[in-house]
Amino acid sequence: SVSRGGEDGPGEGNPLSSRSVPAVCTGTDMKLLRPSSPESHYETLRHLYQGCQVVQGNLELTYLPPDADTTFLKDIKEVQGYVLIAENQVSRLE
């Protein structure tokens, strides 16, 4: 993560600084490639997108199991690439 604070350090003394710079994460480029382990695939997606507001790249939600908790997507405001939602068993995205 790159600090974008002023010369005083990242946001010291400025309570708005943490809200002014969105949380950015890197997207994926797996297309419809089937993951070798569905469990680790879900954990990887959750780890990538938890708290993320801006996805630099693609947001690919694929092969999610029926009981997947997708609330980790709730903070995403912008995707700079494409959005792919395919081959999922989960019935809804939160």
* Helix (H) / strand (E) containing 78: strand 78-79
Residue-range domain boundaries for the chain: 24-86
Q: Average pLDDT for consecutive 10-residue bins of the chain (94 residues)?
A: 47 54 95 93 96 98 96 97 97 88
Number of H helices and E strands in the chain, helices first, is 2, 5
Interacting residues of 8 by C-beta distance below 8 A, sequence separation 6+: none
Give the pLDDT of residue 18: 53
Convert the pLDDT of each residue in 12-35 to its tens digit: 555 554 557 899 999 999 999 999
Give the pLDDT of residue 19: 58
Decide if 72 contacts 42 (C-beta within 8 A): no
CA distances (Å), origin 7, targets 11, 13, 73, 76: 9, 12, 33, 29
